[in-house]
A = this chain, B = another copy of it.
Amino acid sequence: MPRYKLTLEYDGGPFVGWQRQENGPSVQEAMENAVAALTGEAALVYGAGRTDAGVHALAMTAHVDIEKDYGANVICNAVNQHLRPAPIAVLRAEEVSDDFHARFSCIRRAYEYRIVNRRAPLTLERGRAWRVTARLDAEAMHGAAQALVGRHDFSTFRSAQCQSKSPVKTLDEISVSRAGEEIVLRVAARSFLHHQVRSITGSLVEVGRGKWRPRDLETALSAKSREACGPVAPPDGLYFLRADYENN
Docked pose: A128 CA to B128 CA in angstroms: 13
Residues of B within 8 A of A89 (CB): 120-123
Please tell me if A61 contacts chain B, counting CB pairs below 8 Å: no
Is A90 part of the contact surface with B, judged by Cβ < 8 Å? Answer: yes
Q: Which interface residue of A10, A83, A118, A119 has the most chain B CB atoms within 10 A?
A: A119
- Binary flags per residue of A1-38, CB closer than 8 Å to B gives 1, else 0: 00000000111000000000000000000000000000
Chain A 52-71 interface mask (CB, 8 Å, partner B; 1/0) = 00001010000000000000
What's the least CB distance linking A58 to chain B, in Å? 8
Q: Chain B residues with Cβ under 8 A from A88's Cβ?
A: 123
> A88: shortest Cβ distance to chain B, in Å?
6
CB nearest neighbor in B for A13? B124
Question: Is A91 at the interface (CB under 8 A from chain B)?
Answer: yes
Tell whether, in the assembled complex, residue B9 and residue A126 are in contact, meaning their CB atoms are under 8 Å apart: no
* Nearest CB in chain B: distance from A185 CB, A: 18
B119 and A76 form a contact (CB under 8 A): yes
- In the bound assembly, the distance between CA atoms of A123 and B80 in angstroms comes to 11
List the B residue with the shortest CB-CB distance to A92.
B120
Interface size classification for chain A: 20 to 34
Instruction: Tell me whether A84 is interfacial, beta carbon within 8 Å.
Output: yes
Report which of B80, B87, B120, B123 forms a contact with A126, defined as CB distance below 8 A: B87
Query: Does A77 have its Cβ within 8 Å of any Cβ on chain B?
Result: yes
A76→B84 CA distance, assembly (Å): 40
- Tell me which residues across on chain B come within 8 A of A80, comparing CB atoms: 120-121
Q: Mark A117-150, 1 if CB is under 8 A from B, else 0.
A: 0111111101010000000000000000000000
Residues of chain A at the chain B interface (Cβ within 8 Å) = 9-11, 56, 58, 76-77, 80, 83-84, 87-91, 118-124, 126, 128
Extra pairs beyond A11-B126, A58-B124, A89-B123 (7, CB < 8 Å): A9-B123, A10-B123, A10-B124, A11-B123, A80-B121, A83-B121, A91-B120
29 contacts between A and B (CB under 8 A): A9-B120, A9-B123, A9-B124, A10-B123, A10-B124, A11-B123, A11-B124, A11-B126, A56-B124, A58-B124, A76-B119, A76-B120, A77-B119, A80-B120, A80-B121, A83-B121, A84-B121, A87-B123, A87-B124, A87-B126, A88-B123, A89-B120, A89-B121, A89-B122, A89-B123, A90-B120, A91-B118, A91-B120, A124-B128
